[in-house]
A and B are shown apart, each in its own frame.
Chain A
Amino acid sequence: MIGGVFIYNHKGEVLISRVYRDDIGRNAVDAFRVNVIHARQQARFPVVNIARTSFFYTKRSNIWLCAVAKQNINAAMVFEFLNKMIDVMQSYFGKISEENVKNNFVLIYELLDEILDFGYPQNSDTGVLKTFITQQGVRPVTREEQTNVTSAVTGQIGWRREGIKYRRNELFLDVIESVNLLMSQQGQVLSTHVAGRVVMKSYLSGMPECKFGINDKITVENRTKTQLDSNNPNNNNTTNPSTTTKTAIAIDDCQFHQCVKLSKFESEHSISFIPPDGEFELMRYRTTKDISLPFRVIPLVREIGRTKMEVKIVVKSNFKPTLIGQKIEIRIPTPPNTCDVQLLCMKGKAKHKSSENAIVWKMKRMGGMKESQLSAEIELLPNDKKKWNRPPISMSFEVPFAPSGFKVRYLKVFEHKLNYSDSETIKWVRYIGKSGLYETRC
């Protein structure tokens, strides 16, 4: 169980300190500062153990968030909690910065009291929290509201209150994927995977029940099977796997928001749920097979003597010509003994950032099936001591499709009491493919 939560600024001064359990002493706050924040070597592990106490921490824009525990607790749970806490704080007061934390410390203590009880994580849903932790100071609460809050917190559907009404029933669905890649010099894919999220923003009246369909391999196969079975009950052998594999994808693992009825998912493989009001993350998934890589980087590095190096980079976009990739940035590391860099590129802007030891090449947008080139001449100061082990070239981008091939097949809304039909709700679906760690060795 989490023994306490501390928040520090970049200098290691304590901004927030909340201790939940007696086994965490006062010196734990200092121990973390001394051993991690002020450590000589930069700490490389997200969990450190100092004097039999575990410290789990993350850093968000110069703010250290640290959870401590004396017991052997589930580290993944702690990090999930820390990230959730960041989300909650962000939704309350925007960007996490020293200034904001200082200005809202009363609120943060209040939140910490609510989302952790004796070290056990409680309801951390922003929507629900906002119903009873407000920034407006104390106002008289009517009896009705009181019961509402109570039922919301204690009831079966803790994430949605009753009596929500919208004039226009609308929902937005974002499929956000991040592609991770490590490619060898010769263009051989060494490792790749996609981590995706389905984020839903719902503005629906009443207590709607939704059903969500995706092109998951198992579901699709089930469906085709049942279809075939119903169409052709006498012949089971005519299922054609080739038609299913084209459109369906293999999801390695996935996880759902608490509102999804897992029992139904297990038995029928259908995703049905009553959504919370507002924005939430419906599911997360991960795929590793059949990923269409949006960009390919072809590096060409030549060392001419001890004082010169020539680098040529070709970027090819590898998606439909009708689509356009955005926010493209390629980062080419330079040796530490660089003195000067001459750059020449056909498209976009390129610059040598000496503070980061890298050439940064930016392009606002790039169409599908195009290619672009950059050449650089790097002058070096002769240095025979250390051999430079070339770090990989990394790239970041945004494309308007899902590189894993993930497709939303349907999203149906049923509301029995209020009687608005599925066809009356307005639905928006958007696919965004982003880069994760997208690297090519050179």
Chain B
Amino acid sequence: MLPRCRLTRLCRLGLRPMSAAAAPEPAPSVFRTSVSDPREHSRSDLGRLYTVDREDHRRLFQVTGLRKSLSAQARTFCELALMVRQPALNVLDSLRASDPSRPSLRFLLYGPYGGGKSTTVAHVLHWAAASGWLLVHFPEADRWGLRFREVTASASDPQAVDHPVDAALWLAHFRAQNAARLAELDLRTGETYTWSRREATEAGSPLTDLVELGVTRGKHASQCVLALLAELKAHASAGRCRLLMAVEKVNAFWCDSTARREDGSTVKFGDMTVIRAAEQLLRPDWSGGAVLTTIAPVRGGPEGSHLPRHQLGADGWRALEPFVPIRVDDMSRAETYTMIDYFLERRWLQAPAAATERGKQELFFRSGGNPGKLAEICSMY
């Protein structure tokens, strides 16, 4: 926000400040759908953009959770608009039809780089939050082993590795996404967790205590994550809540990280406490929820094909099967034109030629329908 004196000066000059509260309401147009509740999205909304409610946007993606480019775009346009596409609708239809008493469904999104996998995950997370599910969201699983802030040897297991800072930040993200729902559900821990001689979380204390402890005490944050996810798994299986776990770049779980122990040995992702916590929920031995994963080539992962079996490897495949592989492809021509119309409406594309049929054809040709590539190209005009 601008300082008050500057604000009044601008108002006197007749200029409105570009604050979020002053953004004009978008005019109704063909490429938008007015249905902003993802629970009501259906085939008639396919290929159109819906606006995520501001409160939901803040709650779900305040700390982290969106790709940097999408997050920057949302900040620039003063709104988060996501396109309703077939892969997301397929996942939503499956989740709506799923039986909470049956073992959890596993979905795997794959496709070309910049094709919209993370955006699909964001859409499904929004649906799950609106439907009252609890969210366990790992935005970039490879960061835990490749661009982590700090790792320390775990107290309980000398071979295991903890993330004091990253786990605390993740718990803050979890808290932002789930605080309201957790308070409503009032879930309690099933057993006692002893952190040190003086600190312990008794059985029957609310789960929010675990979260708060992890956020404030980085030393125990990773163990808190482990305990929290174990508790959530038990509650979901018992039918007290519905749980959606979303892990992006899940194929990193079966790779080597860049962390090294003191003796020089390589730390695998599977040796990390937080990853082990997430792997609890990847197993098929719980019900009352679902797991949505994406794969993408990561550093240290297998080179070559971008398809699931190759990227997951034998271990990853065995851990995840049977899962539903869903391809998130580049946009069709109609969808690309929708995106271009949206950029034009937001005054992001300012060249007059972009509004012509010829201009749109050129943008479609140059981007190939790839959403990431289209955003990159449009940022130049």
* Chains A and B form a bound pair: no
Q: Which residues of A contact B (CB under 8 A)?
A: none
Q: Taking beta carbons and an 8 Å cutoff, which residues of B are in contact with A?
A: none
